[in-house]
A and B are shown apart, each in its own frame.
Chain A
Amino acid sequence: MTARRGRRFVRRLTDRISSKPPEEEETTWQTIQLVRHPERPYTLDYIDRLFSDFEELHGDRSHGDDAAIVAGIARYGRGAVAVIGHQKGRDAQDRVFRNFGMPGPEGYRKGMRVMGIAERLGLPVLTLIDTPGAFPGAEAEKRGQGVAIAASMRTMLRLDVPVIAVVIGEGSSGGALALGVADRVLMLENATYSVISPEGAAAILWRDAAKAPLAAAAFKPTAANCYRWGVTDVVVPEPAGGAHADPDEAARLLDGYLHRSLRDLAALEPAERRRVRRERYRRIGAHRELALGDGATMITPPRSSNSDGATAEPAKEKTD
């Protein structure tokens, strides 16, 4: 296959995948295994490939530096961006150093600090989401895990600069969403995004951690479903076999969508971006109003102009 034909093939493929929800060819559990593949690219792997230069910044300026979150400023194309992402470790030692990608409050506060830099200097913010959840520990609680996650969402909601979030791996619980409040939310084809990990859900709802595959299927945390429910805006295709099979190609595919999203967002006024971002999260959810007829009003969030049939009409607001 020539390079040109290859490119055309990829473009056709990406058009197909981005314009309608991809087929669920694999079972959810296979996706879970894929997203946890030991060779799957992590935040720093994408940073290496997407940016020509990256300066990592450290510390939250009040307690310490959390290695489970990587943050810094980077050269992207002819511009610059601020990057914040969860970071997992590759070998045993590194995994412990990165705390398995589970940040404490210091990590989120470091993120907010870098968002502050981005806001002052006018850099778009890019977040990469890949975590089994925020770290559950007594020390993290003491230093304000809950407050840090909440404040991070609030900070992202208020930014004047464009904000893009990409779910590159596991997006589990508030620990993921803390970096996920954005103008555009992209999600890799084999990534997962869920309220809780399958194991956690199995232990709580089925009272049996071994029921994780069952829980995973029930939660439907796949990219296709997140797109259908309006939680994400774009499904970014991965190379055949998954991102780990060809990290360079995975980064290249992401690069295209990232570039386009940034260009689209840069065209909007800051106040308009903020308003639309807020509106997006104001409407997200699914409820019924009995007075309007049972099941008549499923609210799903609005989508940007290239909307398809996945979006229902917003419900009429009742005045009591």
Chain B
Amino acid sequence: MARVHISIDRLRGKPRDRPPRGVSGEGETCPKCGTHFRAEELVRNARVCTSCSHHFAATARQRLDALADGGEWSEPWTDLRAGDPLRFSDLESYTSRVAKAEAKTDGSGEALSVARLEIQGHPAIAAAMDFGFLGGSMGSVVGEKLARASERAAESGLPLVVITASGGARMQEGILALMQMARSVVAYETMADAHLPVIVVLGHPTTGGVWASFAALGDVTYAEPGALIAFSGPRVIEQTTREKLPDDFGRAETQLANGQIDAVVDRRELPHRIGRVLAILERPRGLEAPPAFVWAQERAQWAAQTLPTLPKRLADRIRGDDGAQG
């Protein structure tokens, strides 16, 4: 684990010393309610508007910080970079686009960052996407990092938490980008083999090949308020079918009503909600007696404790039905 980052909470005591990482000097205005925030103010609130709860876009590392909620974490595999098998160029060459995007990532180098961290005291491997990096698109590096994250989680017996924010497969990597969809499913199979949970949080937006692969296959799936979740985006649908779509098309709240996700969860509530799920699933492993044995034991225990307290007629009847149990 190459780099250690101190999370924003460490800085809370002395907020003016230096701004939290990934924060430029300028503030931002909430597009929904017009409230103006200083940059560090916003980051400290997990980049959620304090007055109207609008969720601002966040970088992968800001998302991981919010999830770790004050804890330290480190990021492996920051040296992975995209190849350019197609030598792709549209209005600009792919290598130049990647280089520009990379310069903005503060070191993680791609559209997905992985961390080992603790969520409300529960250790987990987390992977978060960065929409700012070429639209959070999934290329070979995203696929490779996700696969490694699941392998690391399976080796360590830890759950995997995945936070998405992506327009879909990275077109500039052509067919190999499409194949990353299948690769991401392999990653989840690694988790399933180890009987370990995958919790997915869908950020804004989660569309295309990302929604149609690992984003849709979580054991538990949450979405941030207002996140667009769709295989085909509204523009593509309107162009292809001439349908006029309602404003709430594909939004997290709509997809909840459609039965596509489990809950809409405020970003500030995520550590708590995910922590609760992890607490439920965190059970001693390898200590379980075979079910049949446990069942017989429980029955004997119940009979010994409860039968004497029951009215005699009922107790006799149960003993009679149940052979030698009493």
Interface residues of A, Cβ cutoff 8 Å to B: 134, 136-138, 140-147, 149-151, 153-154, 157-158, 173-174, 176-178, 180-181, 193-196, 200-201, 203-206, 215, 218-221, 225-226, 229, 231, 278, 281-282, 284-291, 295, 298-299, 320
Contacts and interface: CB of A to CB of B under 8 A. Distances in A.
B212 A145 contact: yes
A157 B237 CA distance: 30
A287 B212 contact: no
B80 A141 contact: no
A287 B141 contact: yes
Nearest to A292: B79
Nearest to A232: B175
A310 B61 CA distance: 38
A136 B236 contact: yes
Given A194-B175, A195-B177, A281-B182, 20 more contacts: A136-B231, A136-B236, A140-B231, A141-B232, A145-B231, A146-B260, A150-B214, A150-B215, A154-B185, A157-B182, A178-B212, A181-B182, A196-B169, A201-B171, A278-B186, A284-B143, A285-B140, A285-B143, A287-B82, A320-B2
Interface residues of B, number: 64
Contacts of A285: 83, 139-140, 143-144, 176, 179-180, 183
Contacts of A215: 90
B215 A137 contact: no
B140 A220 contact: no
A196 to B, nearest CB: 6
Given A145-B212, A289-B79, A136 B232 contact: yes
A278 B169 CA distance: 20
B22 interface: no
Contact of A147 (B82, B178, B260): B260
A166 to B, nearest CB: 16
A290 B216 contact: no
B124 to A, nearest CB: 18
B216 A146 contact: yes
B211 interface: yes
Given A136-B237, A206-B91, A299-B144, A141 B81 contact: no
Nearest to A181: B182
4 smallest A-B Cβ distances: which pairs? A285-B140, A136-B232, A286-B83, A146-B211
Interface of B: 1-2, 76-77, 79-86, 88-91, 139-141, 143-144, 147, 169, 171, 173-183, 185-186, 188-189, 208-209, 211-217, 229-232, 236-237, 239-241, 243, 245, 249-250, 258-260
Given A290-B81, A291-B79, A281 B140 contact: no
Given A174-B178, A226-B175, A229-B175, A157 B212 contact: no
B207 to A, nearest CB: 8
A173 B233 CA distance: 14
A279 to B, nearest CB: 8
Contacts of B79: 289-291
A163 to B, nearest CB: 12
B232 A151 contact: no
Contacts of B243: 137-138
Contact of B208 (A144, A174, A193): A174
Given A149-B212, A218-B88, A320 B174 contact: no
A1 B33 CA distance: 80
A154 B188 CA distance: 9
B212 A150 contact: yes
A181 B240 CA distance: 27
